[in-house]
Every structure is written in C-alpha cells, then in structure tokens.
A and B are shown apart, each in its own frame.
Chain A
Amino acid sequence: MSESRGAIHDPDDIALAWSERAGLRGLSIRSGRVLAIAAAGVVLLLSLLDFSQGLRLATFDLWQRVFPRDRASAPAVIVAIDEASLAAHGQWPWPRTLMAALIERVAANHPAAIGVDVLFSEPDRLSPEQLAPMLAADDTALAQRLASLPTHDAQLAHAIGAAPVVLAVAGMPESEVPTAAGRTTPVLVRGPDPAAIASHAALLRSIPAIDVAAKGHGLISAEPSGRVVRRAPLVARAAGTLMPAFSVELLRVAAGLPAVGLDTAGSGVKAVELGDLGIPTDRDGAVWIHFAPRSAQRFVSAGDVLAGKVGAEVFDRKLVIIGLTALGLLDFHVIPTGERVPGAEIHAQLLEGIFDQDLLRRPGWLAWIEALALVGLAALAVVGAARWRPRTSLIAGVGAAAALVLIAAILMRSGGLLMDVTWPLLGGVAAFTVMLMATLAESDRQRRVLRRALNEERIATARNAGEQEAARRVQMGMLPPVDGRTVADPRVAIAALAEPARSVGGDLYDYFLLDERRLFFMVGDVAGKGLPAALFMSVAKALLKSAALRGTNPLDAIIDEAHDELARDNPGQLFITLFVGILDLDSGALEWCNAGHEPALLLPADASAPHPLYGASGPPLCVIENYPYEVNRDTLVPMDRLCIVTDGVTEAHGAGDELLGRERFARSLANIGAGAAGVRDAIHALLTAHGGERERADDATVLVVEWRGAGSATDRGGGATSAP
C-alpha cells in the first residue's frame, strides 16, 4: 500500500512529524529515561564539583534578601571618619594626636572595647621629630626643641595603652611585605592542627611603638574592594601564626579573656571559643554573616565625637569600632543584599550576629541533602513521566520543586541554614524536560502510528468495497430485469429476485426467447465469492446464452458445449450449479436440465401443494469432466408456475442459526394466487421474516416463470409484469 500512502497528503501527518526529526526519532520513554538520568547525573556532578559557585551563592544571597536578620541588640557602635569629619579636621591621614584625642574621647565613656580599624604602619609624618631634621639647617634651636617634644606616635600609643583598644593587623596575600614582629594574642587549639584554616602569607602591623601599646590585635584581611562579602573568618593564620579576627579580638578584650580557644576536629575547625561562648564555624574557621538592613543608628561621626556632641550613653559598655567611611577612602565592600558598605559595618554586623547568635550555617551534610533532593526530583521525573499523563507529572514536578523551596526557606528562617535549591531544581528540570520531551515524542509517535493504521484500514476498506462494488455491478449488470419486461409475451409472466449478500457471490439468472415459441431460462450459483466468482458467473452465462442462441441445439448439447468451454479455462477451480429450462410457450412442454442445482418447484395452477421437479440430475459444471447431462421432460398446464431458487433461499439462516429448509420453503408457497410476481414477493417476505436482522450469508436468487397458456395471447394483453 506504499503507493497509496504516498498519495495521501494528510496535513496532520506533516504537522505532527516533529517527533520523527533526526534528534528525536530514537526518543522513547525508555531511552528518555536513560537520557533523563544522565542529564540529572551531569547536573549532580557539576553541583558536587562546585562547577559554578556563583549559582549556589546567588541562592544564598536571595535567602539573605528574603530573610534579613532582625537587628535585636546593638553591641557595636561605629565611630565613622566620614566626609563631615574630614571637612572639619582636614584630610586623611589625620595627625596621630587627633586619633589619640578621638580614642581618649571614646574611652572616657566606658566602652567595653575599642577597635581601631586603621593601620599605623609608618611613623606619623606630621610628628614634631619628623620635622626637626628638615628645620635643623635653618634653626637648630627650633629643631632641638621639636625633637624634644613627645612624638605623635608616642601620644597615640599612650592613648591606646590607657584604654581597652584592639588594633587591626592585616593579613596580606604576598610575602613581599616584611612581617614585623609584635604581640599576638594566643590561640589555644583544642584538637588537631586545623590545616583547613584560611592562611595569609604575610602580616602587616602598626609600627612597634603603637602596636605594643594595644591590649589586642585583631586580624583583618586585605580583601580587594568590590568582592561580595558573605563569610568572615573568626580565626586565620598569618605568617604561620594563628590569630583571632578583629571582631573576635574585640570580644576577647571586652570580656577580659587571656586567649581565644579553638575547637578542632580532623583538619578543620568546629568552633571558636571565647570563655563559655562557642561560635560554630565552617571547617576553615569562617562563619556566614547574616546581614541586617543598613542602619544609621550604628554610626556616629568622628567629628561629632571630637566636638563632644555625642552623649556618654552611646559608648557605654559598647564595642566601639573606629573606621573610615568617607567614600574617597576606598574601604568599601559589597554585601549579599547588593549594598556597598564600609569595612567597619561588616565588623559591626558580624559582632551583632555573634551577640544574637544569629549567624548562618552551611554544614557539610546539607550538601548531601541537596544532592538527595536533586536525585529525588529526577527520580520523580523519570518514574512519573512514564506512569502519569504529562500534565499530572508536570503538576507533581512543580509541586515537588515548590516543596523543596519551602523546606529550604523554613531551614533558613528558623535554623539559619543555607540550603541551595538551584542545583537540585536544575537537575530536576533537566530530567523533567527530557522525560516530557520523550513522553510527548512517544505519544505523538503512537498517534501517528494509529493514524497511519487507520488510513491503511480506510484504504483497504475502500479497495475491498470497490472490488465488491465492481463485482456487484458486473453481476447485477449481467442480469435481465426482475420484472421480466424484456420478454413481453402474453403467454408467459416472469418475476425475479436477486438479493446479493454483503460479500458478493456468484448467483445468476437469465431468461430470453430462443424463437417465437421457446423461452430459455436458467438459474445458477457459482461456488465462491467476490470478483472471481462474479466473473466466472458472467462467463458461464455468456457461454450458455451463445450456445442456446446458436440455433436448434437440444438442451443437453447446450449444457455440454458451455461445460467444455468453462472447464477448459478454469484456473480458480470454481464450479457452478445450474438449472436450465426451455419452455414451449404454445404447448407448455418443458425441457429441463439440472447440474447440481436446487430442484425447481412447481406451483400447480390448481393451487394444490407445490412439489419439486424430480428427475435426472448431474453434478455442477466443472466438477466432473464430460459428465453426460440428461434432459428431463414435463408438461405444464396453463397458469402453472415454476419457481427456481438458489441455496441462498432454501439454506437461509435464521436468527437462531436454523436453516429455512426446503420443506418449509415449499409449504410456505402453497395457496399463493395467480401471477409470477406474487410468488416472488412472497419469497422475499419469507426471507425477510426468517432472517430478521441477521446479515445474509449467501446470495438469494429467485426466478418465477408462469405459463399462461397459448390462448392467453388473445385473452389477455401482455400482462407480464402485473401481479395480484
């Protein structure tokens, strides 16, 4: 049927063909499953390899924005060396005497500790002893006087020494900076040496004169500005030595503790300990800062402090951070909320978080939960897409994803746990997408297969119907009219019935005048169905007619001649039953020949019981070669009717599968009034009643011939078609 399929241009066929395009042809649910698992596996691998740290961090930043920290307590105050301060006291760097004054002003208000987020790594250029050598040539006396004055650095050291001050020391990435010696707060490690801890190659300190004066030294890292600050180390290694971070050191000094404790396990840090307070950290000793919104309440201006405009209660028992906030001084960092904040604020926010125990955590096991979530989502896609309809599995997938996000949000909100959902969702979406494509491709393919099958069936049906129709037309076209009008002779009335079964068989009937007084008639039935039977029947009919019309052949000679011709070329091994008769319209003499056919039924003119015409009969034509068919002779009386049927009538199957039967058939034809058509109609009614709704299994053919007697030519006028 390939040529037929090619000829049909189904627009749906073309529109639906996407599932058969090169990339998708092999995509079934089965192969989709493998692909989906592979896709989820790749995503899982990428997530475990931290292929894109940014993706995960972006999720964490989102959590920070959605759930910022509530600023519960305010342990830290920032003394901001801001634009206003610079405007009032001159450009940076300030003389160290001014810094000393600032520290003294703060210290006078009983702060818990003062953190100075400024490095004094060179001597003050404005100090009097620095000016002395420049003036020595011009005014020796002045130079000597200047040199004898207390240095600015000494004054600052004095101010620092008089207060609980923590100085910043900076960890540097390169060792090009010569590391100055100086005091370092002891870090007591409880457990193995924490190799995983962050490490700086070198350490930058204030000049020794100032450095030694301080009660504490806290590490700040010289991070390049502009990077997003999410985590802060609480302890780090600098130039080979473990040191507390600036914030931790502030707390230690405030608490008056001699050392910082470090709880380690394996090669990593578990917690930083300040007396009784333990602060859990990541393995590298850092914590995730939970940022609160910016607040002006954290800041006081250094200018205001120097001017005495700030009340004593502002610093009382607070951790005070002195830091630079003027925009030009470049100590700015970006925090997860996207804001740019000065370094001092990050310290303050970290201190707030430690105080309120509101730090974020990212324990190692959470990564496995995330991996599990990814596998779970992918599994849902793989299992669900095959089992459920695409819409159901889509709803399930979206629901599972939403549940995951909700769980992560709850963990963040109530436990401060940073859970990544981006990678699990990516893995799930990858698996879902592949499965959805596979499902759609497969269902599309199935639809196309069904459509194709339907088309082929339609074509086959059409062909079959076409053949049946052709066979029926051959058959019906060959038959003379059922009302006998082609023999318009008053001596005879003819009525016929041809009821083909659905699959056309090979029944036939024929009647014609051989000459002025002889009527030739026959009924036949070819064994077989369809076009071959119909063609065989038409050939048989034509052969018989031509043999009959050739002249004065006796009936047996007509049969023999047709038989020979038919048998000579019969590849299908078909055979045909025949009842053939010649009626002398003047005398009522009947010659008949039966080749395996139903006996003709005689319906006597006197309305006595119908009876079959018994006599010599032979097998159907083409069953036994050269069979000598015998001719039987009877004589009709006027108004006798001959009724010849095929086995489609006598063997018609009723609703209960019972046959009509010859006896019942014959009985039912008793007491039917004159006329050929009446008999025919009675048989038709009988068949309809017997068969019921049942489809006819075989052709049913009827031919009724009524001899009206020779005299009727003058008595009645050509009423062949009239029926009572």
Chain B
Amino acid sequence: MPPSGEVSSSAIAPVGRIGAGLLPASRYADVVVVAPQDRLDHANGDAFSLALEPYLADCRPGGIHLVLDLSALRYVSSAGLRCFMLAAKQAKAQGGEVVIAGMQAVVREIFEISRFTLLFKVFDDVSAALEALSPRAAQVHRGR
C-alpha cells in the first residue's frame, strides 16, 4: 500500500531527501507516514535521521503518531537499525510512539533476527497501523 496524499501540516518541514531517493511522507489527520526507500545503511543513515527529525520532534502526546512505512525498503543494515532505534528512543522519551508497517521479507527477517520487533509495534500495512493508532486517521486514509 503505497502512501498517497500530501503533508498538510505547516508545522512539519517539507519532504527531505535521503541518499539517492526521497523520504516520501504523507499525513492522515494526526498520523504521519514516512516511507524510506530502497536501502538504509551507513551510507545514508545520517541523512535519513536528519530527514526524520522534524516529524520525530512532533511525535509526542498531542502531536502526531509516526508510522515508518517500510514497504519500499529492500534492505536495512545494522546502521539503519540504529537509526530506527534512536527514533524509537526519542519518541519514547517524549511520550510518543513510532510504529512500523509493511515490511518486506528481507527486512522482516532482519527485524526478527535482531529482535527489533521488541522495540516497535509492527503492522502488516499502513492501514492496519492507522486503525490501531487513530480511528480518525484511518477514516481519512480510507476516504482517499
């Protein structure tokens, strides 16, 4: 389920680039879905963290929920896992939550081996994540 729609909140910085690809982001009510592309490793990990930062800053009670849509991510290295870990830790410290949706088989395997599944709630796809996080967001998503 590829994300559609545009980010509507002016509080959130425009979409940034990571590595060779964009970090597409979509907003559904109080949920922002970001979808890292292709690969996430030590070569583009810092750029990804930088691009994620504005959404992460808003990921707090009264702010947004953050969904990492990994449906377009083919590979994640340990450096990439570290980016996810830092995001999870920051969100947790702020009282917010980051969840993961739509993992491909390879990435899912890496998550399971490293037990990063313990760190995130994992959903099959974005709509499942939205249903769990925010009925309002799910409604917006269905409406599209």
Residues of A within 8 A of B (CB): 503, 525-529, 573-575, 577, 595-599, 617-620, 623-624, 627, 647, 651, 659, 662, 697-698
Contact = CB atoms under 8 A, between A and B. Distances in A.
B119 A651 contact: no
Contacts of B77: 527, 647, 651, 697-698
Contacts of A527: 77-79, 81-82
A189 to B, nearest CB: 89
Given A529-B79, A619-B119, A697-B41, A573 B85 contact: yes
Given A528-B82, A573-B86, A662 B109 contact: yes
Given A528-B42, A659-B106, A618 B113 contact: no
Contacts of A596: 113-116
A659 B115 contact: no
Contacts of B110: 647, 651
A662 B42 CA distance: 21
A529 B89 CA distance: 21
B119 A573 contact: no
Contacts of B113: 596-599, 617
A496 to B, nearest CB: 20
Contacts of B86: 573
A691 to B, nearest CB: 15
Max chain A C-beta neighbours (<10 A), residue from B41, B85, B86, B116: B85
A529 B42 contact: yes
**Size band of the interface chain B makes with A:** 20 to 34
B118 A574 contact: no
A620 B116 CA distance: 8
B119 A623 contact: yes
Given A528-B42, A599-B113, A697-B41, A575 B82 contact: yes
Contacts of A651: 75, 77, 110
Interface secondary structure of B, over-half rule: helix
A597 B113 CA distance: 6
B78 A525 contact: yes
A27 B114 CA distance: 63
Given A528-B82, A596-B116, 15 more contacts: A527-B79, A527-B82, A528-B78, A529-B79, A574-B82, A575-B82, A597-B114, A619-B116, A623-B115, A624-B118, A624-B119, A627-B118, A651-B75, A659-B106, A697-B41
Contacts of A620: 81, 114-115
30 contacts: A525-B78, A528-B42, A528-B82, A573-B85, A574-B82, A575-B81, A575-B82, A577-B78, A596-B113, A596-B115, A596-B116, A598-B113, A599-B113, A619-B114, A619-B118, A619-B119, A620-B114, A620-B115, A623-B116, A623-B119, A624-B118, A624-B119, A647-B78, A647-B110, A651-B75, A651-B110, A659-B106, A697-B41, A697-B77, A698-B77
Interface string B68-87: 00000001011101100110
A618 B113 CA distance: 9
Contacts of B78: 525-528, 575, 577, 647, 698
Nearest to B79: A527
Contacts of B85: 573, 575, 623
Contacts of A599: 113
A659 B75 contact: yes
B110 to A, nearest CB: 8
B108 to A, nearest CB: 12
A347 B49 CA distance: 101
A503 B109 CA distance: 25
A709 B68 CA distance: 49
A585 B109 CA distance: 33
A-B CB proximity, top 10 nearest: A527-B78, A596-B114, A619-B115, A527-B82, A596-B115, A619-B118, A529-B42, A618-B115, A623-B85, A527-B79
A680 B48 CA distance: 36
A697 B116 CA distance: 22
A627 B85 CA distance: 15
B128 to A, nearest CB: 23
Interface string B89-114: 10000000000000000100110011
Nearest to B118: A619
Contacts of B115: 595-596, 617-620, 623
